[in-house]
Amino acid sequence: MSNAKGAGLSNIIAGSTAISTVGVEGEGLNYRGYSIADLASKASFEEVAYLLFEGELPSKTELAILHELLAEKRNLPKELKNILEHIPKYAHPMDVLRTGTSALGCLEPEQDSTDQKDIAIRLLAIYPAMLLYWYHFHFSGRRIETNTEEKSIAGHFLALLKGHKPDELEVKVMDSSLTLYAEHEYNASTFAARVSASTLSDFYSAITTAIGTLRGPLHGGANEEAMLLIQDFSSVEEVEPKLKKRLANKEKIMGFGHRVYAKGDPRSPIIKEWSLQLAAQSNDTQIFPISEAIETMMWDTKKLFPNLDFYSASTYYFMNIPLALYTPIFVCSRITGWAAHIFEQRANNTLIRPSAYYIGPGARRFLALEKR
């Protein structure tokens, strides 16, 4: 990090939240007081979404209502399909979601009377279809049907991607992965969404801001970069010499380190375990061992631990998810955390407008153009 005063707002408390705690005592993560380990193994992603939106876990009836709403709100308006068809094939899918969100904000704008939760649920429901309609139109040459029989968002996503009923283990893993990515306090994209919401801008603008912020490789884009890194090694033996070279060149190794966690990312062992199970299911003898060799070397040489993005990369790889969709999956999940933060910001709003240390020239005499 740069040594400039105030750089990166590191260690600066920029507001309050009742949504999650990150890195208490260097390592924990709780959503509304519940540990990530419990949520990722015992709750569905839809229960987690409800928890983030409402502050409490749902009853059976409340969860059934949420499932009904999500199923109702999956449809893509024909104008949006048309826009998605016109976005180029080689656009980054994060740009597709950013543009799609913005377009939906024009088609179904937030009115003063709109319940903001309806928009949050609409976006949560529609993202898999928005992404995969565009994807299949350009890469499979098909206009897909965007409703599926899958009740869960995880199953719906995989069914749309694969065009058939998804594998049970894969649905479970995707569901858990969506929970792991759902919320993370004042991370860069959430903070960006709060800044946007604090100006009293509309819901879609705040989410569009967040997607643009998540796209960068130092944030959500790290899972794609981590996969490219892993694929750069063709054997475990190659890891040591090649990684040494990268570190000597002061390269950032994507999927390692964290601004807030000091001891470890509590999401990493959970996703690593899923990656291991999928590796076994797909008889992998390369990607997982190479990933572990990278993890060992990063710890031994730099004392850096893997963050959620590192083993998410191999997890998605084993599910045959195209690389460019890794970060958009993060959007399909993080929409829940972003929405919860927008609700919270709006409930007790103050314009977010920090100050800066001025490091430019002192006062200067202005010279008219003809005298310069």
Binding footprint of ligand COA, residue count (CB under 6 A): 17
- Residue closer to ligand COA, measured from CB, 42 or 263: 263
Region label for 11, one of left (φ > 0), alpha (ψ between -120 and 50) or beta (otherwise)? left
Q: Is 309 noted as a catalytic residue in this protein?
A: yes
Residue 325 beta carbon to ligand COA: minimum distance, rounded to whole angstroms? 17
Choose one: 165-173, 192-200, 307-315, 328-336; the region binding ligand COA (CB under 6 A).
Answer: 307-315
Q: Which of 156, 184, 258, 341 is catalytic?
A: 258
Sheet with strand 20-22: strands edge to edge: 20-22, 29-31, 34-35
Residue 218 beta carbon to ligand COA: minimum distance, rounded to whole angstroms? 5
**Angle, vertex CA 47, rays to CA 264 and CA 38, nearest 5:** 35
Q: b/e per residue, 3-12, with b = 16+ CB within 10 A?
A: eeeeeeeeee
Interface of this chain with ligand COA, residues 285 to 304, rule: CB under 6 A: 302, 304
Q: State which H helix or E strand residue 29 sits in.
A: strand 29-31
Q: How many CB atoms lie within 10 A of CB 297?
A: 17
Residue 258 beta carbon to ligand COA: minimum distance, rounded to whole angstroms? 5
Q: Is 219 noted as a catalytic residue in this protein?
A: yes
Identified binder of ligand COA from the candidate list 9, 18, 218, 228, rule CB under 6 A: 218
Q: b/e per residue, 32-48, with b = 16+ CB within 10 A?
A: bebebeebbeebbbbbb
Residue 221 beta carbon to ligand COA: minimum distance, rounded to whole angstroms? 8
Q: Is 258 noted as a catalytic residue in this protein?
A: yes
Residue 262 beta carbon to ligand COA: minimum distance, rounded to whole angstroms? 10
CA dist 126 and 136 (Å) reads 15
Interface of this chain with ligand COA, residues 239 to 278, rule: CB under 6 A: 252-259
- Check the CA dihedral 323-324-327-330 and report its sign: negative
Q: Which residue is nearest to ligand COA (CB)?
A: 257
Identified binder of ligand COA from the candidate list 6, 8, 33, 269, rule CB under 6 A: 8
92 binds ligand COA (CB under 6 A): no
Distances (CA, A) of 256 to 77, 216, 218, 316, 366: 40, 15, 10, 17, 49
The set of catalytic residues is 219, 258, 309
Residues of this chain that interact with ligand COA (CB under 6 A) are 1, 8, 218, 222, 252-259, 302, 304, 307-309
